A and B are shown apart, each in its own frame.
Chain A
Amino acid sequence: METAGKSVPTIPGNTFLYQLKRKLPYIISYGILAVTTLPVIFMYLWLIIQSFASNMKYGLIPEGFSLENWEFLWTNIVYKGAELPSIWTATWNSLFFAGMLTVLEVLIGVMAGYALSRLTFPGREQILKITMILHAFPSIALLIATFYILNFMSLYDSLFGVVLVKTALQIPMTTWIIKGFFDDVSWDLEWAGLIDGCSRIKVWFRIVLPQVKPGIASVSIFSFLSGWSEFLLLYTFIVSNENVTLASFLQRLTSDPNMVNYGVLSAISLFYLIPVLVFFIFTQKSLMKANVGGVKKV
């Protein structure tokens, strides 16, 4: 680009215009992006400021710094006369729910994805089609049936029961995504491993799985996030206080529109957000990184 700039030094009057013209597309696109993301950024800013302010004038202008809203971290909140469970119980439950969901989903998804990608067995095509249809059911349509099943299995009001339900709902999509990653691993690679002295299982662990790492990473991230933000199923099937998760915790705080303390609500929302941010910072690298090459397409 610099050489392009140097190649027209004879018309100095033009250089500014030239630079502008060159940068114009960037200026325009960044401008549009900035304007459209502004409301989102503003919302987050408002959330942060509000949680640390002792009062908000007209709901917009912060007045005074206070940690009052963050007291929920060390004391249990009393809301409408009743004491809510500790935030740490809810956090732990959310972590357990999201983590368990991730582990189950990835485990099942990876194995099923490999089977659907590589093995020929009767009914393979049908399974592929049916799983897609299964995914089309919104979980809300299945609530009643799910309730009966959970109740029957004595898993009502159990986090693990809801994990199972959520996993079942998510598995089709996960499997499809991972199958796609396995499809891209060439057979030759697997065969080379077999010839170099591995058993089929060893080839799978040592050679095939490393190739689908980005797939596993992205599926883990998405399932963790969807577990972390799950609300409907947990709200419906979890009743007891010790099993409450963060999303339901927030819901309880807002159950009566007249008594909502927006300061506390913002603080808890932020608290709810932090693990997601941390998780994303640590995992986004593996999302981007993929090992390619070494196999010629023939």
Chain B
Amino acid sequence: MKVELQNITKSFDKKTNTIDNMNLTIEDGEFVALLGPSGCGKTTTMLMIAGIYKPNEGAIYFDGEKVNDLEPKDREIGMVFQSYALYPHMTVLNNIAFPLKQQKVPKKERLERAKEAAEMVQLGHLLNRKPSELSGGQQQRVALARAIVKRPKLLLLDEPMSNLDASLRIEMRAEISRLQKKLGITTILITHDQEEAMTLADRIALMKDGRIVQFDTPMNLYNEPDNVYVAKFIGTPPMNLVEGKIMYNKLQIDKQTYPMDKSRFHLEHGKEVILGMRPYDIQLGWTEEIRFLGKIELLESIGHSKIIHANVFGKRLQLFAKQDFQAEIGAEVRFSVQPAAIHLFDKKTGKSLRKAAPYGDEMFVKDAALQ
């Protein structure tokens, strides 16, 4: 099912817009993740798609049909709530079978399908328990089974794996992905976990304060962030950001100048900019064209490699080093980065200066400046 949101605005208090003029198109069978900080309106968006909240303005289309006034029960959706929302007075089996019961599926088939769904989330042995007798992770899996059991046309998952342990989470992730591909269910997943979003989603909508900042494939979000906010949000450790100024095609930071690729960026003399470099793109040693000299402030071992926190221009930058890298705290460290691997943002608007970047409104003016 294709889902379209057109100019959706939602306000709870008539003063501020929780969702502000949102546009989003999700293709049939697509897996989309809504990613964003707490309170940015992810759940609100999802509840509007589910028909629980009515948007104040704008329209929602399912397969080209306007559904603003369609009851939730008629929308053919399955949803996992952030709070699980299991029915406390029913057993696990009855919880999972409940949506089928509402569809008047015959009892035998209903129970069979419910058991099947329970097996899928590895709950086959707990069918007769009440929700209160389950752990948080088990409850969450019941909610997942209940959401998929009726094979909805649209699956809404509000942080469906937040309470699972790491290994179970990876298993569930694979299960959701497999199921989604197999049944071709259009799926929207809310998550705080960008790794989860990156691995599962075809496209990610990154949200901030009730708006979508960028809606793109995980790779594009990572490689070509449209603005500083996206750059900071996507990728761990986050992108290193340093303020500078354009001086005749070059970037000046603290009296140092660096060559910039004019074919990649809009370079405007005198413009204040932010230079962005992903920690993975930085090489130890002056092997690349853009070179820095820093002081080691901290050396963190993360198993397969080490993270160097280096102080350059009074800013702390992060880069990776081999597992066996050894250095004193306070020692000098040389590192460099390819011109093709850097990102440049307008300091005032936060917009990417990349030539292919979409030019548009200046909604992020106030967030553009670094802290």
Asked whether any CB of chain A lies closer than 8 Å to the CB of B132, the reply is yes
A293 CB contacts on chain B under 8 angstroms: 86, 88, 130-134, 139
* A197 interfacial contact with B, CB 8 Å: yes
Known: A293-B130, A293-B131. A197 touches B102 (CB 8 A): yes
The reply to whether A195 and B78 contact each other, CB–CB distance below 8 Å, is: yes
Given A293-B88, A296-B84, A298-B83: A196 in contact with B146 (beta carbons within 8 A): yes
The 8 A CB mask of B65-95 against A (1 = contact, 0 = none) is 0000001110101110111111111000001
Number of A-B contacts (CB under 8 A): 96
Chain B contacts for A292, CB-based, 8 A:
88, 132
Residue A194, interface by CB 8 Å: yes
The answer to whether B99 touches A197, judged by C-beta atoms less than 8 angstroms apart, is yes
With a cutoff of 8 Å between Cβ atoms, the chain A residues found around residue B75 in the complex are 195
Q: Report B-chain residues with C-beta under 8 Å of the C-beta of A192.
A: 79, 81, 85-87, 146
Q: Looking at the assembled complex, report how far the CB atom of A201 sits from the nearest CB atom of chain B, in whole angstroms.
A: 11
Q: Is the CB of B132 within 8 A of A291?
A: yes
User: What separation, in Å, do the CA atoms of A44 and B84 have in the docked complex?
Assistant: 51
What 0/1 pattern do residues 80 to 122 of A give for CB contact below 8 A with B? Answer: 0000000000000000000000000000000000000000000
Flag if B136 contacts A296 (CB, 8 Å).
yes
Which of chain B's residues has its CB closest to A196's CB? B99
Q: Select which of B47, B84, B99, B130 is within 8 A of A295 by beta carbon.
A: B84
Q: Cβ of A296 and Cβ of B139 under 8 Å apart?
A: yes
A198 at the interface (CB under 8 A from B): yes
In the docked arrangement, what's the CA distance between A292 and B83, Å? 14
A198 touches B86 (CB 8 A): no
- Knowing A188-B83, A291-B130, A294-B139 touch, does A195 contact B88 (C-beta < 8 A)? no
Residues of chain A contacted by B78 (CB below 8 angstroms)? 195
* CB-based contact B79/A211 at 8 Å: no
The smallest beta-carbon distance between B29 and chain A, in angstroms, is 20
Which residues of A sit under 8 angstroms from B88, Cβ to Cβ?
189, 211, 291-295
Determine the chain A residues whose CB is within 8 A of the CB of B52 once the complex forms: 191, 194-195
Name, among A202, A292, A295, A297, the residue most crowded by chain B CB atoms within 10 Å (CB to CB): A295
Chain A residues proximal to chain B, CB less than 8 Å: 186, 188-189, 191-199, 202, 207, 210-211, 213, 291-298
Query: What residues of chain B have their CB less than 8 Å away from a CB belonging to chain A?
Result: 47, 50-52, 71-73, 75, 77-79, 81-89, 95, 98-99, 102-103, 130-134, 136, 139, 146, 150, 163
Top 7 nearest A-B pairs (CB, nearest first) are: A293-B132, A294-B131, A197-B102, A294-B86, A188-B85, A192-B85, A196-B99
